[in-house]
Structure formats: structure tokens, C-alpha cells
Amino acid sequence: MCNMKRLFQVALFIGLFSVSSFAKGGFGDRLFFQVGGTIGADVMNMTGVIAKGTPLETEYSSLNVNYATLALSGRVNLLEISNNSSLGLTLRPSGSFGRAYNDAGGGSSTMLRLPFTFDFHSGAAATVATRAKTGFTIGVGAEYVMYPLGNPVAVAPDPNGLDRDRDIKANWLQPVVVAGIKFTGKHYYCREINFKASFSTASSMTNSTSLDAQYYGKIDSWQTVGFMVSFMQFLNY
């Protein structure tokens, strides 16, 4: 969590440092918007231990596959190094519908993610002045995850054979890395194939379970690993 706070502080410092540069050109020329998503190429594996240290202790491993993900992106260039390169701050919200696969049978699930990243852009869509037809981006940041949005998702059967499947519902912050390949498509609109990887680990996590919170309201040895490939269309470039 300390590293996340430092990331916020660095982003704030860069934003304040770049205020003077905004005055040199139109602010709107530094804004870039995208819309897109993916079908099936969005997965996250989750592991942990529920009711650790009690007779009810249950380890679980659950793979969440998002069948459909709608993604948006809004970026502001904080520093334009040249016509063909820039540093920017990007918000990349996404909403997903899918299913969890695990020993309890899983079930349908929904997920909302709110990532922000600090990115380097080169070539196409790096600035409004570039004439490059191809380019790339790479960035790092943090992502706030809400999973699931509805009822808790079953992740493991009751080890005692009772009809009380262990379920999870949690919100957490995790680091992310993004990379993208940009190219000019039909009608000169710029498009991007974007890759995002995420990872989180925590000694414990609050669990908004449907079961008795006294026993099942905490997840120990929490860990997630996620990967998504999305196709994005620029709206104003």
C-alpha cells in the first residue's frame, strides 16, 4: 500500500510540474479518448484461504473468465517530448461479465476495474502533431477492483460436506502494467491492441461473504494474477 501512495504522489508531482506546459498550447489537444473491449481474452486467477486456523479452514483456487469486457480510456498528455513522443496519465475503466470456474462449480460474475497508469507514448497518437502511422505505448500504474458487483461468487465446496459453499466478494487495489501497439486503420482512425497484466498479494483481505462473517469474513494468503488483451479505437485522433 505504501508503494501505491508513492505512485499517486509521483503522478501528482508530474501533473503539477506540467501545468506550465499546458499554457503553451490548447488543453484539448492533449486529450485522447478510446473505446473498445474484448471477448474472452480477459482472465484472472484468484487463490486464498478462508477461515484459516479453524476447523472450517478452506483453501480455494478460482479462475474467472470474462466473456465480454467493455473498456474506455481517457488520457491527458502531461509532457510532450516531441511531435512523436509524450508522457501521459491515463484512466482505463472497464466493466466485465463472465463466469468463475472452480471446485464449487463457480457461477456467473461481474467485475468493475478502475485503473490509472503513467504511460510513455511513441509514434501514432503520441501527440496530435505526429504524422506517424504506427506506434507503441508502455505504462505502469494501479487498479481498483470490485469483484463481483452482485452476490458473492462460490469458490470452494464445504470441506465438511455440508451445503455451505465458500464464497467471496472483495474490493482491492493492485499494480498493473500495460503495453499497446498502435496503428492507423481504415479512414485514418488510429487503433490499438492493448495488453494489461495485473498482480496482487496480501496477508489478509476483507470478505463480504453471504455466510457468517465471524468465521468467513476474512481471506488469508490472498493472491490474484490477471491478463487482458483488448482492441481499442481512438475517438478523436
Instruction: Convert the pLDDT of each residue in 100-158 to its tens digit.
Output: 999 999 999 999 999 999 999 999 999 999 999 999 999 999 999 999 999 999 999 98
Measured at the alpha carbon of residue 202, what is the angle toward residues 199 and 203, in degrees to the nearest 5?
155
Q: Is residue 152 part of a domain?
A: yes
Q: Is residue 193 part of a domain?
A: yes
Range of the domain at 124: 2-18+28-234
What distance in Å separates the CA atoms of residue 67 and residue 61, rounded to the nearest whole number?
Answer: 19
Q: Is residue 140 part of a domain?
A: yes
Tens-digit pLDDT profile for the chain (237 aa)? 555 555 555 555 555 444 444 444 567 789 999 999 999 999 999 999 999 999 889 999 999 999 999 999 999 999 999 999 999 999 999 999 999 999 999 999 999 999 999 999 999 999 999 999 999 999 999 999 999 999 999 999 988 777 689 999 999 999 999 999 999 877 778 999 999 999 999 999 999 999 999 999 999 999 999 999 999 999 987
Give the burial class of 26: count Cβ atoms within 10 A of its Cβ; 0-12 exposed, 13-18 middle, 19 or more buried. exposed
Contact 194, 230 (CB under 8 A): yes
Q: Is residue 162 part of a domain?
A: yes
Q: Is residue 206 part of a domain?
A: yes
Q: Is residue 23 part of a domain?
A: no
Q: Is residue 81 part of a domain?
A: yes
DSSP 63-101: EEEEEEEEEEEEEEEEEEEETTEEEEEEE--EEEEEEEE
pTM of this structure: 0.85
CATH (domain of 221): 2.40.160.20
Q: Is residue 201 part of a domain?
A: yes
Residue 13, all three cell numbers: 508531482
Question: What domain count does the chain have?
Answer: 1
Nearest to 80 by CA among 133, 121, 118: 121
